[in-house]
């Protein structure tokens, strides 16, 4: 048993199994099914995932006027002909920006929810920076999700995000995204536990490159579903199958 096992159970108790059972029953298309013809985090990419019966993972960040926009990068330059941070433009202006090599434009989370309409499960990664208060974006996501009945969960690298939902929307399934990166020693082990205790997540979304992981295995064993990202090859898919409950995959990593 982990030295921190009793503290984990006290500060970050596992969720009720029936509340999170759906998480491990699906494969998730990372930013939708995207390739040379379909741009990531676009309605076309999400439509293809729905067509294949895949769950969807998407990214959201805040517009200047407080809407949840579906877009990964902080800046517009990689995926559009525009420059500058997403947060410097209002939602209406962002919705008019065309994604490179596509007829799709940036969309709000509300629009994606309308498209998905409960047909497949949805994982919403809330983007965050240490120097920013994540609460306004959490609130924007919460408002977009009001009344949505399809299977969905929020998640973030930032432990403040699942913590916010634990306090303000405890019925929302919430996850902590984890990468061990260069923090595999004692300090890294402690940092992961501190994040876990603060976040109080219902599940973990773990970097597949770090699996197998003692920390991840310990949390999975006590009832937290373990998803893993980003599965991009057959070899990584085999690793995900061996050590996690479900893959968040793209390209050659998709079934």
Q: Which residue has the tokens 């699996």?
A: 211
Residues 36-62: tens digit of each pLDDT: 889 999 999 999 999 999 999 999 999
Q: Please tell me the distance from the alpha carbon of residue 153 to that of residue 124, in angstroms, as a whole number.
A: 6
Q: Please tell me the distance from the alpha carbon of residue 230 to that of residue 24, in angstroms, as a whole number.
A: 16
Residues 88-102: tens digit of each pLDDT: 999 999 999 999 999
At residue 145, does pLDDT exceed 50?
Answer: yes
Task: Please check whether residue 43 is in contact with residue 111, taking contact to mean a CB–CB distance below 8 angstroms.
Answer: yes
At residue 2, does pLDDT exceed 70?
Answer: no
What pLDDT, on a 0 to 100 scale, did the predictor assign at position 182?
A: 65
Helix axes 109-116, 43-52, angle to 10 degrees: 30
Q: Which residue has the tokens 């939708």?
A: 32
Q: Which residues, at least 6 apart from 163, have a Cβ–Cβ distance to it below 8 Å?
A: 198, 199, 200
Confidence of residue 5 (pLDDT cuts 50, 70, 90): confident
Mean of pLDDT values over 241-246: 98
Q: Where are the domains of the chain?
A: 5-59+118-253
At residue 68, does pLDDT exceed 50?
Answer: yes
180 token code pair: 């061990």
Residue 2 class from Cβ within 10 Å (0-12 exposed, 13-18 middle, 19+ buried)? middle
CATH class of 5-59+118-253: alpha beta
Mean of pLDDT values over 80-84: 98
Please state whether beta strands 55-62 and 68-70 pair in parallel, antiparallel, or not at all (unpaired).
antiparallel
Q: Please tell me the distance from the alpha carbon of residue 68 to that of residue 137, in angstroms, as a whole number.
A: 6
At residue 183, does pLDDT exceed 80?
Answer: no
Average pLDDT, rounded, for the chain: 96
Nearest-CA neighbor of 79 among 112, 50, 101? 101
What pLDDT, on a 0 to 100 scale, did the predictor assign at position 1?
A: 46
Mean of pLDDT values over 146-151: 97
Listed in sequence order, the DSSP H helices in 53-176 are 91-94, 109-116, 135-145, 160-168
At residue 6, does pLDDT exceed 70?
Answer: yes
Q: Please tell me the distance from the alpha carbon of residue 128 to that of residue 2, in angstroms, as a whole number.
A: 30
Listed in sequence order, the DSSP H helices in 31-159 are 43-52, 91-94, 109-116, 135-145
What pLDDT, on a 0 to 100 scale, did the predictor assign at position 187?
A: 84
At residue 185, does pLDDT exceed 80?
Answer: no
Residues 93-132: tens digit of each pLDDT: 999 999 999 999 999 999 999 999 999 999 999 999 999 9
247 token code pair: 């893959």
Q: Is the dihedral of CA 232, 153, 89, 39 positive or negative?
A: positive
At residue 14, does pLDDT exceed 70?
Answer: yes
């Amino acid at each position: 048993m982990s030295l921190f096992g009793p503290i984990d159970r006290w500060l970050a108790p596992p969720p009720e199994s029936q509340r999170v059972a759906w998480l491990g029953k699906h494969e998730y298309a990372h930013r939708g099914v995207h390739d040379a013809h379909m741009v990531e985090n676009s309605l076309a990419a999400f439509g293809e995932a729905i067509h294949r019966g895949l769950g969807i993972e998407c990214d959201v960040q805040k517009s200047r006027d407080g809407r949840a926009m579906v877009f990964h990068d902080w800046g517009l330059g990689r995926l559009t002909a525009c420059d500058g941070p997403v947060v410097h433009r209002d939602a209406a202006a962002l919705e008019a920006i065309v994604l490179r090599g596509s007829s799709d434009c940036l969309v709000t989370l509300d629009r994606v929810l309308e498209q998905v309409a409960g047909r497949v499960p949805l994982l919403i990664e809330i983007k965050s920076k240490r120097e920013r208060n994540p609460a306004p974006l959490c609130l924007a996501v919460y408002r977009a999700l009001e009344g949505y009945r399809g299977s969905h969960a929020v998640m973030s690298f930032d432990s403040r995000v699942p913590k916010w939902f634990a306090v303000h929307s405890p019925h929302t399934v919430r996850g902590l995204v984890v990468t061990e990166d260069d923090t595999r020693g004692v300090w890294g082990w402690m940092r992961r536990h501190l994040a876990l205790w603060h976040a109080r997540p219902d599940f973990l979304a773990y970097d597949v490159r770090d699996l197998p992981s003692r920390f991840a295995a310990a949390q999975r064993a006590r009832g937290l579903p373990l998803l893993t990202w980003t599965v991009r090859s057959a070899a990584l898919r085999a690793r995900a199958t061996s050590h996690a409950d479900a893959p968040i995959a793209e390209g050659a990593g998709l079934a």
